[in-house]
A and B are shown apart, each in its own frame.
Chain A
Amino acid sequence: MATADRAEELVDQVRSAFGRARRLRIRGGGTKDWYGEPPADGSAETTLDTRIHTGIVEYDPSELVVTARCGTPLAELEAALAASGQMLACEAPHFGAQATVGGCIAAGLSGPRRATSGSVRDFVLGAKLINGRGQHLSFGGQVIKNVAGYDVSRLLAGSLGILGVITEVSLKVVPAPVAEATLRFDGVPEQVALERLNRWGGQPLPLSASAWSAGTLHLRLSGAAAAVDAARSALGGDRLDPVDAAAFWTALREQSAPFFAGDVPLWRLSLPSTTPPLTGLDTSAGAGAGLVEWGGALRWLRSDAPAALLREAARSAGGHATLFRRGQGKSGAHGMPAGCFAPLDPALLRIHQRLKAEFDPAGLFNHGRLYPGL
């Protein structure tokens, strides 16, 4: 495990970019290069590679907190936690072996455990940031409860690097569950699956993940052995072999499952969990082409329907739609190229613009990656 404190070099790079008004593209392992808006003019940007600044700075299992530098490989961090029987509860996707801790926080993407355990931002306790003036700042800390000042460290989760370079992060970790079981239910229509998932969510069951697609519902239970056993007999279904089960949830998290293959644009709809099945949005295969996670709150669709149609369907259900992967297809062929993220309401956009100006007055970082102009 390499460790190197190279924060000073990162600060120097930002200061020099600030001096020359040169835009920077912050990059770790590049596993999420495709996520967000593509750079308008890549040649106008210099890449700032975060991988030089690496290593776990502090980890005391009895504090339930780990602090790591941005370039630390996510896999390395997870292995260190696993060695002490702990884990990151948000189960963040890696999307490649090179994934770094900094990229994980900046992308803010959470995995199968999200609905029951919380998101990446829920576990952020503190962060260090190089802002657009080249100041190296420290927010939050290494304690579980901390309300001193505004919670800037949580704001960085999912910021896609537009506010600055995250150089270090402290995360709350949790004990790995003692027992786990994955149950499979076949022949379940989407509507029925959604009803069941929401009903189960209101009962004291040790649910830790769910996935429905093409008439099959998978449910993962995690917790005390007694609780998992009791839930298993109450719920029925077929239990997966533990090795197959682990492979199933990893394929889902990493989007290597067959559903995610192919070139049709992949849409991510984040909705209230009780939203009924969405119809008429997936032009490729008709009903049943979706994949449901997070107890109904996350719906993946392969669709080359017009962006406006998907966005409106999500909006009217009380959620939002992200063009997660554009695919090779004709995304945006229906008029203007679709933006990756749902447009912001004007009042919210103004706050975004002002925040960007406060953190990065010269507009150095990841220009346009979250929204055009930011």
Chain B
Amino acid sequence: MDTFAEAATGRDALVSRLRALLPDGSVLDTDEAQRPYECDGLTLFRQLPLATVLPSTEAQLVSVIRLCREAGVPIVPRGAGTGLSGGATPHAHGVLLSTAKMSRILSIDPLARTARVQPGVRNLAISEAAAKHGLYYAPDPSSQIACSIGGNVAENSGGVHCLKYGLTVHNVLRVRAVTIDGEVVEFGSGALDSPGLDLLAVLVGSEGMLAVTTEVTVRLIPRPQLARCIMASFGDVGVAGDAVAKLIAAGIIPAGLEMMDQPATRMVEPFANAGYDLDAAAILLCEADGTPEEVDEEIARMSEVLRAAGATGLRVSASEAERLRFWAGRKNAFPAAGRVSPDYYCMDGTIPRRRLGEMLRAIQQMEVKYDMRCPNVFHAGDGNLHPLILFDANDPSSLARAEAFGADILELCVKLGGTVTGEHGVGIEKINQMCVQFPADEREQFFGVKRAFDPHGLLNPDKCIPTLHRCAEYGRLKVHGGALPHPELERF
């Protein structure tokens, strides 16, 4: 704490030292200039940092880290700021380090099927640049037009196609990153494995707490010749959930398998004109891709399973335009929530697929308990839920209820054998729920991993892993409020 306080008083000195390291206009220190950086996609948490820096090169980034390390100033890395868990929320006594000016695609090797890119490159830009070679980058978060690859690596982001094609961790070959000591380290390589421990696997999903990514080599895969999508309607959400399990049990891995309940389709439709069946209690979007023969074969098999599982109607996309419309609705679910409600709070738990029906019924009860609406969209194939709690942040009671509602959902995910976050990360948002998911020994081992990379705790501090103290506080709070939803949860 002392070092932080000193850093605060030495703010002007810090800013001028940062200015000496970076080109003009790359260090922001006024409130107005820093306003766009005060929060990420989780707008509930806002905080201005001491200063915001935008290095243009790795060498500049290294010099910033060395300076901060020497001065004991915390660093929070930031990509595009679309994160939904507050991972890029600035530190009051720290420097916010944006990769916005490191946004070049360095090379694409069509024969080796790899792209080497700077961290600030947008996810979709990689696929756009690879398209002329018939290749693309598979993980496709709904935020792909905006989010950066550096952020994707930090969160191990997924997308609607990751059941078949994997998450970020499965599609990244190499990450070049700077440690808190200012050393440039290569994790992974252009080969399929590397000597020693698989540190790349730990770096992916580490929420900017272990090192700052300066370059990424991703794997590109051939674009399928054809993709078609089935929209299947169901009269009951539980039946739709069971249909998902039946598809998988039939040995089918759809290229995409998403579910939306009726409140979600009705919320999205006026906004996206996706052509959804608004009378259905739930719809499944179920995609096949590959050669035309393969797609025909798979669409036929999937249709058969879906019908037998109780689908009340099936519509197969008749054109690429229609297929994209089906997906546009799904991918615009969050913005649509933002349109129908002053605010929305997006949850991200994952549960075993067989518990989907149970979970949905519990959420319906919670809607009554908290008197709030909660449409649901899911990466159903992965069991990854995105309940969208609609609330009004200007109404303190509404905000408090939304937070309690969210905590209830996440803690039920743990109880059902799942996890509090499937792809959005813990950040500061779910830090209390980490106390529920992991006992103290596990959390201490996580701190051990953190210390191995960042012994001084300067990289994105106080996020992701809660301290013993914090968990004790959370436990007390819940007992006091008498609101401990699942007292049996203390063991994972």
Contact = CB atoms under 8 A, between A and B. Distances in A.
Interface of A: 60-65, 85-86, 108, 114-115, 118-119, 121-122, 131, 135, 137-139, 141-152, 154-155, 157-159, 162-163, 174-176, 178, 198-199, 201-206, 223-227, 229-230, 270-274, 294, 297-298, 318-320, 322, 341-345, 347-349, 351-352, 354-355, 357-359, 370-371
B412 to A, nearest CB: 14
Contact of A354 (B196, B251, B296, B452): B452
14 contacts: A145-B382, A147-B423, A148-B426, A148-B438, A150-B450, A151-B169, A174-B253, A198-B111, A224-B294, A229-B293, A271-B190, A271-B191, A319-B190, A322-B195
- 7 A-B pairs with the lowest CB-CB distances in the bound complex, closest first: A358-B448, A226-B293, A145-B422, A175-B251, A154-B201, A354-B452, A319-B191
A264 B383 CA distance: 50
Given A224-B298, A274-B112, A151 B204 contact: yes
A114 B425 contact: no
Contact of B198 (A108, A229, A347): A108
B464 interface: yes
B201 A272 contact: no
B194 interface: yes
Contacts of A344: 195-196
Interface in B435-472: 437-438, 441-443, 445-446, 448-453, 455, 464-465
Contact of A115 (B187, B192, B426): B192
A355 B419 contact: no
B20 interface: no
Contacts of B169: 122, 151, 154
Contacts of A371: 196
Given A62-B248, A150-B210, 5 more contacts: A63-B248, A141-B418, A202-B110, A226-B293, A272-B190
Given A137-B441, A224-B290, A121 B194 contact: no
A287 to B, nearest CB: 22
B293 A62 contact: no
B438 A157 contact: no
A22 B107 CA distance: 51
Contacts of A178: 251
B195 A342 contact: yes
Interface stretch (B54-62, B217-225, B335-343, B367-375): B217-225
Contacts of B441: 135, 137
B350 A272 contact: no
Nearest to A116: B221
Nearest to B110: A202
B131 to A, nearest CB: 13
A342 B418 CA distance: 38
A25 to B, nearest CB: 19
B112 A198 contact: yes
Interface string B239-271: 000000110110111000000000000000000
Contacts of B354: 60, 62-63
Contact of A63 (B199, B353, B449, B453): B353
Contacts, number: 267
A347 B201 contact: no
A216 B26 CA distance: 57
B108 to A, nearest CB: 12
Contacts of A348: 185-187, 196, 199
B325 interface: no
Interface string B106-145: 0001111110000000000000000001110000000000
B275 interface: no
B205 interface: yes
B380 to A, nearest CB: 11
Given A138-B442, A204-B291, A274-B112, A319 B201 contact: no
B287 to A, nearest CB: 14
Contacts of A198: 111-113
Contacts of B224: 204
B156 A151 contact: yes
B166 interface: yes
A373 B455 CA distance: 21
Given A149-B464, A158-B197, A354-B451, A318 B191 contact: yes
Contact of A202 (B134, B162, B183, B210): B134
A226 B290 CA distance: 10
Contact of B452 (A63, A294, A358): A358
Interface residues of B, number: 98
Nearest to B447: A358
Given A204-B224, A318-B190, A147 B425 contact: yes
B6 interface: no
B353 A62 contact: yes
A92 to B, nearest CB: 13
Contact of A320 (B189, B383, B420, B465): B189
A144 B383 CA distance: 8
B294 A227 contact: yes
Contacts of B425: 147
A149 B197 contact: no
A34 to B, nearest CB: 18
B206 to A, nearest CB: 6
B129 to A, nearest CB: 15
A358 B451 contact: yes
B155 interface: yes
Nearest to A204: B222
A204 B290 contact: yes
Contact of A230 (B185, B293, B442, B450): B293
A146 B350 contact: yes
Contacts of A108: 193, 198
B68 interface: no
B424 to A, nearest CB: 8
Given A115-B192, A355-B449, A147 B185 contact: no
A115 to B, nearest CB: 7
A225 B297 contact: yes
B248 A64 contact: yes
Contacts of B298: 224
Contacts of A163: 197
A224 B453 CA distance: 45
A145 B186 contact: no
A61, A118, A202, A320: residue with the most chain B Cβ atoms closer than 10 Å: A202
Contacts of B183: 347
Interface in B162-195: 162-163, 166-167, 169-170, 179, 181, 183-187, 189-195
Nearest to B250: A175
Nearest to B420: A148
Contact of B249 (A62, A115, A352, A355): A62
Contacts of B191: 270-272, 297, 318-320
B45 interface: no
Contacts of B202: 150-152, 154-155
A155 to B, nearest CB: 5
Nearest to A314: B191
Given A150-B449, A223-B294, A227-B293, A61 B249 contact: yes
Given A157-B198, A159-B197, A150 B446 contact: yes
B434 interface: yes
B193 A270 contact: yes
B155 A147 contact: yes
Contacts of A206: 290
A371 B196 CA distance: 8
